Each structure stands twice: as structure tokens, then as C-alpha cells.
Amino acid sequence: MTRIAVVGSGYMGGGMAQVFALAGHPVVISDATAEIAEANLERIRLETQQFEEQGLFPAGASATIAANITAAASIEEAVTGAEFVEEAVPERIEVKHATLRRISDANPSGIIGSNTSTISITRLAEAVSHPERFLGVHFSNPAPFVPGVEIIPHPLTSEATITAVEQLIEGSGKVGARVKDATGFVLNRLQYALFHEATQLVDEGVATTEDIDAIVRSTFGFRLPFFGPFAIADMAGLDVYAFCYASLQEDFPERFATPAILSERIARGELGTKTGGGFRAIDPARIPELVAYRNRAYAKMKALLDELGPSPFDEPAAESQS
Ligand SMILES: NC(=O)c1ccc[n+]([C@@H]2O[C@H](COP(=O)([O-])OP(=O)(O)OC[C@H]3O[C@@H](n4cnc5c(N)ncnc54)[C@H](O)[C@@H]3O)[C@@H](O)[C@H]2O)c1
């Protein structure tokens, strides 16, 4: 069990507090004032109760949350003696700097993580004493249900800090991945690249927002819970990717220049799973197992989507159906 403090108990702070508390850790939340922290604790308790009733949290979750999360009157009270502090105040560097200064003054030895979406961890570290104990610990929204967490050391973060956070994240049922401190990290850089291209397609009149969302959800987005872009490229064939790049370059020569790491693999005869080599290592003897997994995954994904039905974005409101 790790004594945890969450500073900034809003949307993300509340969700992360739930995750850690459900994993059995004692969590103290704090906010700009004692009143806000108390009100947010009440909100977290109510929300947990609803999640339990809806079957989204395990039976007994409300009792666990009630026992494990408390609200402190101040940031200092919350973080004193905590082994891990997660900062989740608004995404403004001056607010984060001031908060991190207060955290590190009150707690000179605990590990400190920031949930920043976009701000450089190296810049945030300027406000932390003993910066080797500081790093980005970036949960996604909604934190109780989205498994992935970006773990972002800055150049001075110690290996012991990173390992301790990786263990805490894995032990709380989440999936951590290490990322260098580069603008946008991995998640937002990729997410915004997709969004940027999608907005260009709308601007050019190629498709509507509704049709683009439908295509993303029902084609390549459908694969993404199971395979990332490199596994997908390996399965498609890197030579196929090179042909597609050549075609895209006719109209977008700079935006779709063939990546060097793709050309290098093709030059070595590594064309993906069909040649036993590509971006991701896999024993060729396991290809039939991979294909079977893929087919099972996609069939089950289709069944899940059929069971859930469309989201309210895509389902007409009840009154307009009649
Ligand atoms: N909302 C998302 O989808 C999302 C996803 C990933 C990461 N993040 C990041 O998480 C962080 C928090 O975002 P959020 O969506 O939870 O915001 P939010 O507005 O819901 O919560 C911020 C909380 O910080 C409190 N706060 C404000 N000033 C404070 C101070 N000086 N000291 C202590 N507490 C203070 C607010 O009262 C509020 O409770 C941001 O860095 C954001 O970029 C957000």
C-alpha cells in the first residue's frame, strides 16, 4: 500500500483518486480550498455508488472508496508524509508551478507526478526540489475506465522513481508506457495528428464530420483496441505501405513523405509478418495464432458494438424517431 495524495480533485483528480483507492491505497485529496475538496469527495462518493449500481465498479467499491479516500483542508496537509503525490490542477503553467512548489516544500522526499496533458515535464520540474523524484504520470479521461497511463520522466528523473511509479500504475490495474518528455508526449501528438487531418478533410469537402467519425470508428479505429500502428503496418505488409505512400505523395508530397524507418526495413527485405520481420518482433511460427486472435477480437468487437448500440451522437433522439 502506498500513501497517496491527489492535489486538484476535479475531473481527473477525482478519477485517479478512485483508481488508487479501489486498488487499496489510502488517498488524501486536496484542492484550492477545504470546501472544494470536501464537495469533490462527496461527488466522488456519489459517483462511485452510481458506478457500483451500474455494475461498472465491483461490488463493495463504495465501501472501499469511503474507507480509503479522505479530504484534507489544504495541499500541505494532504501531501505531508505521502509516498506519491499526483498533481491535477488546471493546465496553466503558473498554476502548476505554484502548486508544485507548495507540494515539494511540504513533502521533500515523496515521488511527485503531474497529470499534465501537454506542458513540458522539464519545465514543470523547475518548481520541484529534488527533481529526480518528479515525472509526468498522464492518465486518460475517464481515468476509472481508460487503462493507459503515459509515464514521462524528464532527464533528471531517477530510475528508482520511474520503476516505483510503473509498479504503482500496474498494481492499480492500469497499463503504463514510458514516453520521453517531448511536446504532446505520444498520446496527444497522435490524437492531434489524426484530428488535424480530419479537419482538413472537412475543409476540403471530402466528407462530413459525421461520415469521417463513422469511417474512423468502423474501419481502422475498429482495430486500435487490439493493435497499434506498427503491429497494423506489419500485418498489412510494409511493401503495401510503401505503395500507398507513393500514391499519397502525388498530391501531398511533403506531408506523406515515405518515412526512413519504413524504407530501411523494406530495403532489408523485412516486409512485416509475411516475411517474419517488420517493426514488431514475432516468431513466424505464431502467425496462425496471431490471425486467429485478430479474427476473434474483431468478431467480438462487432458483437460488443451491436450489443451497446450507437452512441447518442449517432442515434436519433427518442422523440424524433416517432
Ligand atoms: N479532462 C481531461 O480530459 C484530461 C485528460 C488528461 C489530462 N488532463 C489534465 O489533468 C489536469 C486537470 O484537469 P481536469 O480536467 O481534472 O480539470 P478540472 O478543472 O476538472 O480540475 C482541476 C481542479 O483543480 C482545482 N484547482 C484549481 N486551482 C488550484 C490550486 N491553485 N490548488 C489546488 N487545486 C486547484 C480546481 O478547483 C479543480 O477541482 C490538467 O493538467 C489537464 O490537462 C485532463
Interval between CA 273 and ligand 1 midpoint (Å): 43
Secondary structure (3-state) at 123: helix
Q: Return the biggest CA–CA distance within the chain.
A: 64
Confidence of residue 277 (pLDDT cuts 50, 70, 90): confident
Ligand 1 neighbour 117 (Cβ under 6 A): yes
Ligand 1 neighbour 95 (Cβ under 6 A): yes
Ligand 1 neighbour 147 (Cβ under 6 A): no
pLDDT tens, residue by residue, 233-269: 999 999 999 999 999 999 999 999 999 999 999 999 9
Residue 320 is predicted with a pLDDT of: 52
Ligand 1 neighbour 9 (Cβ under 6 A): yes
Ligand 1 neighbour 39 (Cβ under 6 A): no
Cα(161)–Cα(114) distance, integer angstroms: 13
Cβ 78 vs Cβ 34: under 8 Å: no
Cα(202)–Cα(277) distance, integer angstroms: 37
Give the residue from 92, 107, 115, 100 showing the smallest Cα distance to 17.
115
Interval between CA 170 and ligand 1 midpoint (Å): 23
Cβ 172 vs Cβ 186: under 8 Å: no
**142 preceded by cis ω (within 30°)?**
yes
Interval between CA 64 and ligand 1 midpoint (Å): 24
Confidence of residue 322 (pLDDT cuts 50, 70, 90): very low
Nearest CA to ligand 1 atom 35: 32
Assess whether pLDDT exceeds 90 at residue 321.
no
Per the confidence metrics, is the pTM higher than 0.85?
A: yes
Tell me the percentage of the chain whose pLDDT exceeds 90.
95
